[in-house]
Amino acid sequence: MLNPSLIFSRKLLFLCFLAYAFQSCQKAEKEDTPPNIILILSDDQGWGDLGVNGNPYVNTPNIDQLAANGIQFSRFYVNPVCSPTRAELLTGRFHARGGVYSTSEGGERLDLDETTFAEIFQSNGYKTSAFGKWHNGSQPPFHPNNRGFEEYYGFASGHWGNYFSPMLEHNGEVVQGNGFIIDDLTDHAMDFITENQENPFFVYLAYNTPHSPMQVLDNWWEKYENAPIDTIHRYHEKELIDKTRAAYALCENIDWNVGRILNTLDSLQLQENTIIIYLSDNGPNGWRWNEGLKGIKGSTDEGGVRSPLILFWKDHFKPLVVDQLASTIDILPSLMDLAKIDYKTEKPLDGISLKPLLFGEEIPETNRVVYSHWNGKVSLRNQRYMLDQNNELYDLESDPEQNYPITASKDSLLDEMIQLKTNWTQTVLSELDRNREEIFPVGYKDSKYTLLPARDGIPHGSIKRSSIHPNSSFFSNWTSTQDSVTWDTEILTSGEYKATVYYAGKEASVGSTLLLRQGENEVRTSVDQANDSDFVAAEFDRSPRSESYEKDYKPMEIGTIYLEKGRHPLVMKAPEIKGSEFIEIRLLVLERLD
């Protein structure tokens, strides 16, 4: 007869084995689960606009905590302005290869033969979404819904003129936002995360602040309105103090919303399987404290292109500061590597995977050089030295502020760096066609709506644009029946389209006639209702703006028009004007009915 204690020991051993096997299976299953990804991009937030980078005047505890518990890069580089950085982020390739040469009027569009990270991750089973500022093409097929994003909520243009319940779009359809725009975008991102918690998801959360206009909610502004601000930094004589205060308030609002994302992940028990990436698209949009770095947004110097890069993955990444050089083009290959995605893009990536660095390993020395470009100006950097747009050489180890160009004993290095710039200009920058004709597509087969904002139109006669900055502008001063607005369009699908215009107009304009024409086809309507709107949310501007203000534009259906396939400009005219001025035009929407 077996000893009872021996029987008990065997049972206990068997139970332990089962528990170990169960835990091993759980661990293996967990390791095989694709990680969720949340990529957060701020707009015009400089290196120095975070507490973790030494700024005691701005409060960003959630982002600082991500850096403290995750990985922070000290030498991460972007481009001097919005669209080029976003194109590189999307593709892992230099923006010049993707045709991005401007920030408006078509020059911001990413070539259609480029592959985006949304397309790659979607093809590998991910639910994909984008919320916020797109800025790489407004009309389908350049629209985010046609570039791999199943869900899109935000605005596809560059800057926006109103941050309080503004006109936005949801999957191509015009909608009205709900509350302060950053909070609203975060609400939609959190809803998407919650709805897709059982699936691997990719969230691209592209905030549009602290980009101007400097519109700030009262509760955030009051924290900084009279707060101390550093007034002895490198550019203090150029600084606009209220603009700086507003920027810091907007940065704290971003941080609060990042905290909301983290709380959502925590409540859904998703933090351990979600990679969070935080960065900015370029340097600060003002002469504020930036750790002494030279230049701001628009500059290829350190202050214009050195960006925060923070990565957090609970229980996977250990706290680490990485000093090795990295660039926007590295984000896509790194995320593919982390998600174990093997995808061969049609065009080779320019970036490299940073995965070894994220786990404390070294990347073999490759004498790597990264490039930043804008408007024909190029700077480049290796691990120690920088060559600026004027071919002046700096030692960034001893002179990170670029105060002392090297003038002697480095001739061979200078020649080498100049040659690298020449090679890059001839082999990469030469792919960029700055003189291409910008034609705006209408009626893409997979999309119901095409939005043609005033930004993409051309005014004729007395008509004026509301700002020198086309993004978010409107047309006004339409005083003559000889005046017109045209859009250079290519109709991709013949058929019937419902035309709707978003407008503002005084009472005296009621009874005027609006006409939309393409070739021999036309539709017209009468203005039967005034919309005498003031500028909206102007009271929340904390610093003077150069961008256009927004109004409460209302939709007016023009009617149905047949558009013929091919390149045909759309013409808007006013055959009859009541009063001294016709309506103001913000947006033309064409809805494909066939």
Phi and psi, residue 98, nearest 5°? -95, 5
The average pLDDT across 332-346 equals 96
The pLDDT of residue 386 is 97
- The chain-wide mean pLDDT, for the chain, equals 94
Provide the pLDDT for residue 28: 47
Q: Per-residue confidence at 367, pLDDT binned at 50, 70, 90? A: confident
Which pLDDT belongs to residue 231? 82
Rounded to 5 degrees, φ, ψ at 304 are: -90, -20
Q: Which residues of 368-389 are buried (b: 16+ CB within 10 A; e: fewer)?
A: ebbbbbbeebbbbbbbebbbbb
Q: Examine the pLDDT at 18 and tell me if it is beyond 70.
A: no
Residue 15 carries which side chain, given as an amino acid letter?
L
Task: Quote the CATH superfamily of domain 440-592.
Answer: Galactose-binding domain-like (2.60.120.260)
**Residues 420-445, mean pLDDT to the nearest whole number:** 95
Helix/strand/coil for 307: coil
Strands 464-465 and 475-476: antiparallel
Reduced to 3 states (helix: H, G, I; strand: E, B; else coil), residue 415 is: helix
For residue 375, the model assigns a pLDDT of 93
Domain boundaries, the chain: 36-361, 374-431, 440-592
Question: Which tops the pLDDT comparison, 474 or 29?
Answer: 474
Task: Kindly indicate the confidence band of residue 55, based on its pLDDT and cuts at 50, 70 and 90.
Answer: very high
Asked whether the predicted pLDDT for residue 481 surpasses 50, the reply is yes
129, pLDDT greater than 80: yes
pLDDT tens digits along 112-125: 999 999 999 999 99
- Intra-chain end-to-end CA distance of the chain, in Å: 85
Other C-beta atoms within 10 Å of 345: how many?
17
Q: Which pLDDT score is estimated for 366? A: 74
Phi-psi region of 383 (alpha: psi -120 to 50; beta: other; left: phi over 0): alpha
Q: Which residues contact 268 (CB under 8 A, 6 or more apart)?
A: 193, 194, 197
Contact present, 484 and 461 (Cβ < 8 Å): yes
pLDDT at 429: 96
pTM, whole model, 2 decimals?
0.94
pLDDT digits (tens, 9 = 90+) for 282-328: 999 999 999 999 999 999 999 999 999 999 999 999 999 999 999 99
The two tokens of residue 8 are 């008990």
Record: fold of 36-361: Alkaline Phosphatase, subunit A (3.40.720)
Q: Please state, in angstroms and rounded to a whole number, the distance separating the CA atoms of residues 592 and 490.
A: 14
Counting Cβ atoms within 10 Å, is residue 147 exposed (0-12), middle (13-18) or buried (19+)?
buried
Q: How far is CA 379 from CA 114, 236, 297, 353, 451, in A?
A: 24, 25, 14, 22, 36
